[in-house]
Structure 1
């Protein structure tokens, strides 16, 4: 809803009056409106795929052949009653009209983006407000994604043009894409990006590209006549479920908001809150291992544990999802699910080429340099083929015909991020300097040091093998991810707790490249070269998994919990001390989570909760419908590993939200797709694998989903964005497996109705 303050109204009237003086409004003998001339450009950014550095190649350009008009009624369309013009081959326009108001640029698929030399891939509407026209001057108007964003923020926040222009200046004047200091003056923030240069231009282009993606999606929603808000963002529950057969009656609630056909202004807001998940600039996901909310089979629990004071302080001070399920056991299927919304039948930690019905098609990498200067070593098509370098290489299960294909040919979240011109990083601790990131780290007797932090209990230890494991990489199993041009540049390093940069410089396992940086993470935080999406993988001592013989790194010990807990403290502190975190005009989040819950073999949200195979297969979309495939073997019945820890801190206000609805790794994948707008709720096929399995999707496709046909609780068995929109109905006992919450009262896990519906992610400043 557009909100215009009294001060802004006065400002606009003054501006319009000033414009009338310049153009002799109403000054003719017939007292008819005088013609007003507006001229300027429609500016564009162009994403050019293929960069190997980890940062996208972006070019400045214009939209040629775009229609420009005065949008008198604010409907986002150039109506037949509104005079329009067309931009020339250089994106310039001159519009003579008796009307006044905001300008819009209607960029059809017949228009050309001169930055790429290609037609606009989808319909796009951009705008420039009347206040901007008055500010820039009627003969110097720049219509761009940035101009659209200022007006969207005015409407979203109920502010005025000057305020949001200033906020945009602050947003962009921050480290970005490796430039530690970027200044975008107020005079430049809405100017023609083609006239900027250097880091300033790159910062604006990176933002412009992301905004163009959003406004293209907004235009799609408007053209389609979507209902507002999105179904799964409606407080109370999904309106599309009302009266639908096959949905559990006990879980149905009455939506508390009425949907209406979307308006232009609403479409622009909805594109930045897909399914109620707002746009984030940077998300850091700290991945930990093998510990549940409470002690299980001799393994220390985390919730309330004295051995984990920092994680518990993080949870208490910030936001929690208290009923979050892992989707498999052991590690690899969970990480694979986090990368692409399914574990594809994997039930072991064997290497990513194991039992490959689709053999790896990796190619040799010639080496190079990452965007932050890190040298990238040349590699062969595949890393060394032995059990020291690859998890489970040569194990008997690798050669069993019925075992799952570990080389997944489906797309992952990393591919979708890359295709949108956004950035991703994986930061892994204790990789051997100069190693191929597709191989596990190996022992190096030349390096020895003592761990002295919390949980320390011994003297010097030589570097053991398997500190870095490819099974702990969410993208490693995906062929399309390993084939990305930036794959090697995006696999980066992070500081350690036992072995220092000086220690690693003595390495003999691999030649140490000149200029090798063992802590790209800290370098990137300072220079803004982190990804939009960042997975942080501590080594197997600091993630609480365990390897080697160091007493502080023994699996299942209290020492390793202390060690991992303190590593979380250090990583969180490093992020929160960065200029990225301190810029409140940008949304940044830190997630602390575990791959497994160490509980029972149960999960939720996209999985059939039983462990027997009932023919479940991923659904393939073709010819306008979903059909079952026969490509993946789920006969091992891997359906989860219980309830686990999931905490979120944002750099916005944190009201300590607790969302007790059921979610899983599949729900996180859906949430990330919404957060970075790399999916469309109206097109389920755009969601990765089981991330599309919403309650309405299951009901619509139940014939092809035999594993869910007998569900007694379709809400529990479906996937939702993690937006707290659902209200647990009064009288409905939330489905929890008591084994998963051993040692923790069900009441503390909030099995009943949630007291609030505050969205963990949608926190205002």
Structure 2
């Protein structure tokens, strides 16, 4: 072995080590509502329609169809569950997704009494990466009510459709309604419906800037910069200014939660107002616009990851068994297995939290947040070696230099061995 060959080999080792330590780029979660990905044929009466094979969800199904061009970078789980069939409604599942522990077992706003104590993923990312750590893109939060300031109580009609950035606040109050001055960018309706229960970071004082008993609606709240209206997503993608971890919540008409008061036409089919299939079509229409928007960005091309996720399985709580029920967990990334690879591992929300703590190397008090230690990470959805199997130990520059020094010593010893052998 020549000195040149040995030097190249050592450099390759260093480069490989660095690449393996930072494979995943920016992560984008798109949160959907209240529909099973699959469910048994004898699901209880009233259970919403499943998504797999649903004609109203043509875009989502293209992502999980092998050979479809839309599925080139996708993998999906066939046995994804919320934490248990008894964990309902939405709010505790959203809270668990970022804290590893259940929140209040209701859908009430954070204040006056639903604040969740303890660390969350956003807080850990913020501590490590600052403002680049996380961001929550929430549809409708920039709408201005006819009284008070943006995101404060009393929003029953609108005076404008876009509030200036200087008025953005932490959105800890839900509001919904109809306004002739508003047109939804995705479904064309005049209805809006922001629900804090679908915004998990708003339930912790560490990431909402309030106290345990009172919100902080001031635009000077330092946490306000982490909550952006959904319209800001395209701007941030264009500017390559998204965060490491991005949580995207459509309003309740675009996340499959609710149907409109009017009919909705999608892909040539008209879905009747007030029907479950209309809610499915509304959510699929949203995905068909937002997913390509993200895929076209530099953030996605730089090993970014899109996760299409839903909060809870439906109907299994009535029968007390998860058999045949699964939630939606679709991963889109150049680092995924691709071509709609299906993975039958049993995953829950704990798997997501373990995965991103591993990927971003963020540790809470005692390591993993809440009760998620021991959960399988999402590694089987990705190419081998992409997802670390534990939270990487922080490596200082001094430790890295010591590592390089060790490689240098090994190189000198190898060269002496080669010289003696020669």
TM-score by length of 1: 0.39
Does 2:300 correspond to 1:595? no
Is contact 1:596–1:641 with CA below 8 Å preserved after alignment?
A: no
- For 1:312 and 1:471, locate their aligned partners in 2 and report how far apart those are by CA, in whole Å: 27
1:686 to 2:396 alignment:
no
2:213 is equivalent to residue 526 of structure 1: no
Q: Any idea what SS the aligned residue of 1:540 has?
A: coil
Taking a change above 3 Å as real, the CA distance of residues 685 and 599 of structure 1, as seen in their structure-2 partners, is farther
Mapping 1:465-476, distance limit 5 Å: 467-476=193-202
Call closer, same or farther: CA 1:555–1:589 in 2, change over 3 Å: farther
Q: Matches of 2:184 and 2:109 in 1, distance apart? A: 30
Q: Distance in 2 between matches of 1:648 and 1:339?
A: 18
Q: Which has the larger radius of gyration?
A: 1
Residue 134 of structure 2: aligned partner: 424
Matches within 5 A, 1:107-506: 152-154=14-16, 272=21, 279-294=23-38, 296=43, 297-298=45-46, 299-316=48-65, 317=71, 318-327=74-83, 328-344=87-103, 346-354=104-112, 356=113, 406-421=114-129, 422-431=132-141, 432-433=143-144, 434-435=150-151, 436=169, 437-443=171-177, 445-449=179-183, 462-464=190-192, 467-483=193-209, 486-494=222-230
Separation of aligned partners in 2, 1:563 and 1:658: 25
Task: List per-residue Cα deviations over 1:212-244 (Å, max 9, x = no partner).
Answer: xxxxxxxxxxxxxxxxxxxxxxxxxxxxxxxxx
Contact 1:591–1:646 (CA<8 Å) still a contact in 2?
yes
Output one character per residue of 1:442-473: Cα deviation in whole Å (capped at 9) or x when no partner. Answer: 435342548886xxxxxx85435xx1111100
Matches of 1:281 and 1:322 in 2, distance apart? 25
Residues in 2 aligned to 1:676 and 1:449: alpha-carbon distance in whole angstroms: 38
Please, which of 657, 667, 687 is the counterpart of residue 351 of structure 2?
Answer: 667
CA contact (8 A) 1:329 1:641 kept: no
Post-superposition offset of 1:761: 4.9
- 2:328 — aligned with what? 645
- Is the Cα contact below 8 Å between 2:180 and 2:190 reproduced in 1? yes
Deviation per CA, 1:272-308: give whole Å up to 9, x if none.
3xxxxx6522000110000002365341110111111
In 2, Cα distance between equivalents of 1:537 and 1:450:
14
Q: 1:762 to 1:351 in 2, by over 3 A?
A: closer
Deviations 1:646-702 (A, max 9, x none): 11011346434322111111121111111111038xxx821111112x2xxxxxxxx
Q: Distance in 1 between matches of 2:384 and 2:29?
A: 18
From the superposition, tell whether residues 545 and 8 of structure 1 become closer, same or farther in structure 2 (CA, over 3 Å).
farther
Conserved 8 A contact 1:330-1:347: yes
* Residue pair 1:342, 1:666 contacting (<8 A) in 2 also: no
The aligned runs of 1:600-679 (5 Å cut-off) are: 600-601=316-317, 643-652=326-335, 654-656=337-339, 657-679=341-363
Match of 1:570 in 2: 289
Give, in angstroms, the shift of residue 593 of structure 1. 1.1
Distance verdict in 2 for CA 1:576–1:548, change over 3 Å:
closer
Could you say which structure has the higher helix fraction?
2
Would the aligned equivalents of 1:598 and 1:641 in 2 still touch at CA under 8 Å? no
What are the ranges of 5 or more consecutive residues in structure 1 without an aligned counterpart?
1-5, 14-128, 132-149, 158-268, 273-277, 357-405, 454-459, 495-518, 604-608, 611-638, 695-718, 726-756
Higher RCO, 1 vs 2 (CA within 8 Å, ≥6 residues apart) = 2
Counterpart CA distance in 2 for 1:339 and 1:313 is: 29
Cα deviation 1:102-137 (Å, max 9, x = unaligned): xxxxxxxxxxxxxxxxxxxxxxxxxxx986xxxxxx
Contact kept in structure 1, 2:75 and 2:336, CA below 8 Å: no
Rounded Cα–Cα distance in structure 2 between residues aligned with 1:307 and 1:536: 22
Matched position secondary structure for 1:558? helix
Tell me the C-alpha RMSD between the 2 structures: 3.5
1:580 paired residue among 281, 293, 299: 299
Separation of aligned partners in 1, 2:261 and 2:106: 23
> When the two structures are superposed, what TM-score results if normalisation uses the length of structure 2?
0.69
1:12: how far off?
A: 3.8
Q: Deviations over 1:128-165 (max 9, x none)?
A: x986xxxxxxxxxxxxxxxxxx86324578xxxxxxxx
Does the 8 Å contact 1:310/1:565 carry over to 2? yes
1:424 is displaced (CA, Å) by 0.4
Following superposition, the deviation at residue 558 of structure 1 comes to 0.8
